[in-house]
Structure 1
């Protein structure tokens, strides 16, 4: 009987998002596939260093151990071929990750396989794969590779989201981009009782809420919204979450204040934002991923 993923939080992550493969990737980009293949085979016994998504994956897998039941499934989804993947497999064994499933697409688009595994979140360093995932309706983030050595507590996972164009649609962001801040705030105050439409990461938030319920006694997961909205425009956010029957543990209405400072204090395992201007600085203190706009959803379109 085939295994069902319906009762798991399923995270698909690329090998470059999980491990530091930047040196190998640079060889691929500058010298081509043959040089890359030779390099990976020569170094297949060299254990890879952690990448930006390593801490998130480690803490997610720890949920299974701490609850003594299978709640999270992590799948490595790589554009590598099977021939060049032994280094990745050896590194997974070295770190003791309970990851048994891998997709090795041999250079093909990974997003086509997300449906087969019921993926709730896809993280990658390949913008094309992430954009295709978003357009296909899967929550996804383009994770930033940095030289920052992130440190997290092992007892809790903390995941933070921007609001507009991430958890919610870009409908309100479009007003801000086209008509300015005053028109944006006025619109949100007038429509505060009208729920915002779901954005590209809403489905993942619902999946996290279900996971929280399954491990609530251990308090293993905490969520946050970190948004540039002020408290008045934030009323619509609060009422929307209430209508969705979703509880977010911490909410920050920053009115344009620096998100990175708040995220560092929150200790996010990952932060999702739609704009480089926020996500890139945040990636210097916490792992961060940009959520691409779905076709036709860019605020300036």
Structure 2
């Protein structure tokens, strides 16, 4: 494991290189916090969404689901960077009852860029230029994926296992998710191939973050893409887990904070972490969490990182301060 002194030496003459892996609102929180620390932020975004506007575009056009990619772009842009209009436009959703109803403008722009340019990485770089993003947004894979989960608790026999396929179905199941797998959307048995630029970003990073977010559908999928898994396991970067503030109905209902770490171990036994950040008010048994973190090789930081009046949402400034303390200690 690389020492904090050698990590500091790697980036003492340049900004800290940070890579955040996830999707949805959880990744948005991490990216907003990282912008407080460094301008060199890369988001690596899951591409298995099959619901809402993203799901419709994916089914109708066969492109990467754009919604989580759009959220990452707007998180890294930030309305304070002088691009307030484009920030608002990208997030604007059409109303009414017609064909455009429910679509975010940014989703349609990304879908158009994907089709015109033909390369999702180049298309996302172009969208980042349009929004004035200083970092980078990359897809986890350059082809859409499907999530399949083993779920129990859906039958009279509580131990009976059902297989559920699709991100929305997995995220909203009333059963208990035990394990997930990834499949390419074309039905091939070949494992999903990672976006090469995402693998390179992880390999060259100073810090790599997992979480917060939907644990089974936004966080764990990155560890199930072989090339990306290997890059996360072998990178010399500091590896940090940011835990959720509350369990997510369906996916992680009834999960303790330490159970989230146990699930990481079950899906990626070789994974080692350097730090685990959790909200102090969301951890009922700190000693159990510390033991689970220690089993991953990590220190535990219990800070108050929830937004005032919104216990389910991270406060970006508080999370940024906690991340800075975590990096200074590893």
Whether TM-score is above 0.5 comes out as no
